[in-house]
Chain A
Amino acid sequence: MKMGQDQAPLLLEPQPGMGAVLKKTGIKLCLYLPLLLWTMITLYPFWYMMVLSTRSLSEIFAFPPPLWFGRALADNYRILLARLPFWRNVWNSIYIAVMATVTTLFFCSLGGYGFAIYEFKGKKVLFTIMLATIMIPALLGIIPFFIMMRYFGWINTPRALYLPGAASAYGIYLLRQYITGAVPLALVDAARIDGCSEFGIYSRIVLPIIKPGLAALGIITFLGSWDNFMGPLVILRDKMTYTIPVALRSFQGQAQTDYGAIMVGASIAVLPLVTVFLFMSRQLIAGLTYGSIKG
């Protein structure tokens, strides 16, 4: 925050006299207010979701709408479990997100290491092809993705949702950049002279150094998988295989949509991640924006 402190006197040039002091406080207030207002707008939907999860359907659609917690949480929870194997759906979401993270980190760190450390024939061409695909929108892949998964017989299987994404062009780009920046080639050469095998260099020297990069890619992958909707929507047809978003969506489609129960489900989908985030926000924000500023 060093720079912010330097900047302040520039923005609010100290002027003598009472008027200047008033003006200064006025400006400060004018700048704080929108920030506080947006903070409230940001937080309110979370609050509203929790409040609604404790309200019955008739209370949710009453006037005035509920502003404080009610007593229907247990009922809503029971309705949710009666209509959906919800904890199974939660498990599916977790399983797919964890597997997506692990496989992406594995493939991308191997590939990123290869591209960062070695010189080899065709390196430029291969890397350019890969970079070119980063700009291609995900939507382009959805039709062939579905056809291929059906051809492989992977409909209704979790691996359809984590394996194809494991070779992420963005991921390998991110890690290659990270390795190039963080691992000195002299270190690699020194290890080689000491008799370290190529795989040993990767696993015992490079991987520990690039932990922050791996963490960043891991978080991005996990959140992306957790949020994924269109993929599971076309692949998962059986209630037992649903992830949380598809499960919530199937609930919404039913004749008398019970929004209280949906809000319980939504809270389960949202609140644990929010809690984790609150405890380690600094590292997570740094990780999530890492690729954006450098890239």
Chain B
Amino acid sequence: MVELSFGNKVDRFIRRKAPYLFISPFFVFFLVFGAFPIFFALYLSFHDWNGIANSPMVYIGWENYWYTLTDPLFWQALKNTIILTIESSVPQHVLGLFFAFIINLGFVKFKSFFKTTLFLPYITSTVAVSMVFAILFGYPYGFLNYLLVSVNKLPFFQTVFNWLRLDPPLKWLGSTSLMLPAISTQIIWRWTGWNTILYLAGLQTIPQELYEAARVDGAKWYQVFFKITLPSLRPVIQFAVTMSIIGGLQIFNEPFIMVGKDGGTGRAGYTLAMYLYQTGFEWGYFGSAAAISYLVFVLIFIFSFLSRKLLRSDEGVS
């Protein structure tokens, strides 16, 4: 009996400690690689450090933040990043909603073909695809310019191009005005399918009774769309838009590959993430780079908060 009760004690002990045993491997890793860097970056952002291992870190207060906020390059990168985020996000979601709505219609055939195809860009390597798009947008002989030059021979398109004051072939990646639209095209290409699938899943959770009721009341399709479909999708839209904002404000791979690490002509494609990368890894100001990363964090926080406010449903559906 003695052994048994001792065994019971051991068993109870293990049982009590089991939760900690299970989560501790994760938590040790999380503390070292997930939580510590956040505080380390904060600490670093108040110090002057050139990144060389044995050189001293000097406390300089808000100097790094002050320096960054008075650096014209920061403001240019900020402007580019916000424009890029808007130019790439809005079409993504409008198209995503539109395609989800179409695919969800009863008469549309080959639903899984469309779903699969639209989703394809998401599983590609951004760097590899950016290189394809760089050639696609090439001047003067990229495929897109070939298309534009070809259709420019038709009088209708001539009028349109004249009206837009464009004269193909266009220097997509070499001009300050066309660079961001070209880069956002690739982002839209990549994420529209993802959003479509997300919105499709959202559409399928809308209860049938709502549509039945609308039908009985004799509602028109656009009334159904704006009064039932869109409001019901609000939580999904809010999630998807927030994801776009978080991703957009950190955008790095696409511009870095398509127009180079300096952001191309007039730094028109220079984003905050590229500014952070150069400040830290090329110019060796690790303290400033950490400060930039915190500024980006604050920015993401503000924008996510705003999108949440704007997209919040009035009836508290979310």
Chain A positions within 8 Å of B, measured between CB atoms, are 1, 3-12, 28, 31-32, 34-35, 38-39, 41-46, 48-49, 52, 60-65, 107-108, 110-111, 113-115, 117-120, 123, 126, 129-130, 133, 135-148, 150-151, 163-167, 169, 172, 198, 202, 223, 226-227, 229-230, 234, 244-245, 248-249, 252, 259, 262-263, 265-266, 269-270, 273-274, 277-278, 281-282, 284-285, 288-289, 292-293, 295
Please determine whether B33 and A227 come into contact, CB atoms closer than 8 angstroms.
no
B27 touches A (CB below 8 Å): yes
Contacts of B208 in A (CB 8 A): 3, 6
- A129 and B27 CA atoms in complex are apart in Å by 11
Could you tell me the distance in whole angstroms from the C-beta of B94 to the nearest C-beta in chain A? 11
Q: With A48-B136, A139-B250, A259-B135 in contact, is A115–B128 under 8 Å at CB?
A: no
- A172 and B138 CA atoms in complex are apart in Å by 43
Could you tell me the distance in whole angstroms from the C-beta of B16 to the nearest C-beta in chain A? 8
B310 touches A (CB below 8 Å): no
- A62 and B126 CA atoms in complex are apart in Å by 26
Please determine whether B296 and A107 come into contact, CB atoms closer than 8 angstroms.
no
Contacts of B281 in A (CB 8 A): 146, 234
Q: For the A-B complex with A28-B107, A38-B118, A266-B132 known, give 6 more contacts whose Cβ atoms are closer than 8 Å.
A: A4-B106, A39-B117, A110-B23, A143-B289, A234-B281, A282-B112
In chain B, positions 190-248 with a C-beta closer than 8 Å to chain A are 192-193, 197-198, 201-206, 208, 211, 214-215, 221, 224, 236, 239-240, 246
User: Interface residues of A: mostly helix, strand, loop or mixed?
Assistant: helix
Could you tell me the distance in whole angstroms from the C-beta of A70 to the nearest C-beta in chain B? 14
Q: Which residue of A lies closest to B201 (CB)?
A: A293
Please determine whether A126 and B27 come into contact, CB atoms closer than 8 angstroms.
yes
Q: Which residue of B lies closest to A292 (CB)?
A: B198
B307 touches A (CB below 8 Å): no
Could you tell me the distance in whole angstroms from the C-beta of A269 to the nearest C-beta in chain B? 4
Please determine whether A202 and B30 come into contact, CB atoms closer than 8 angstroms.
no
- A8 and B293 CA atoms in complex are apart in Å by 49
